Amino acid sequence: MYITRRERFSSAHRLLNTNIADNDNNKLFGKCYQLHGHNYELFVTVTGPINKISGFVIDLKDLKQIIKNKVINKLDHQYINEVDFMKDTITTTENLCISIWNELKNPIEQLGGKLYKIKIKETENNFFEYYG
């Protein structure tokens, strides 16, 4: 069984590689080198067997709380480049997916589920998926 929880957050960031010069960053990242923001949608998919006692894979209220505490509260209306789990990382949505996976994997396993997929909708046309 697979279950998915959706959350939303709004954040600002800029794509920046601190190992290269400003003009090289500008060439590499173009307009995304400038400070800008997105209204993101995050989809967290968990898999596992259905518990015979509860009927759940995991309790969705517990999943919601983990996502809020580990991810949303840190990212919503924040500058992603300064968020603890994104520091020293180029803040592409690809890297954001991986970092969110790393934040959620163990807490979800402690609830008895297995993290299956992180999906982020960055814009109307751009989606990113990570399967660990």
Based on the residue annotation, tell me whether 97 is a catalytic residue of this protein: no
Based on the residue annotation, tell me whether 77 is a catalytic residue of this protein: yes
Q: Which residue among 7, 32, 38, 109 is the active-site one?
A: 32
Based on the residue annotation, tell me whether 82 is a catalytic residue of this protein: no
The C-alpha atoms of residue 7 and residue 67 are separated, in whole angstroms, by: 8
Query: CA torsion sign, 95 to 99 to 100 to 102?
Result: positive
Taking the mean position of all CA atoms in its chain, how far away is CA 34? 21
Q: Which residue among 7, 41, 109, 122 is the active-site one?
A: 122
- Catalytic amino acids? 32, 77, 122
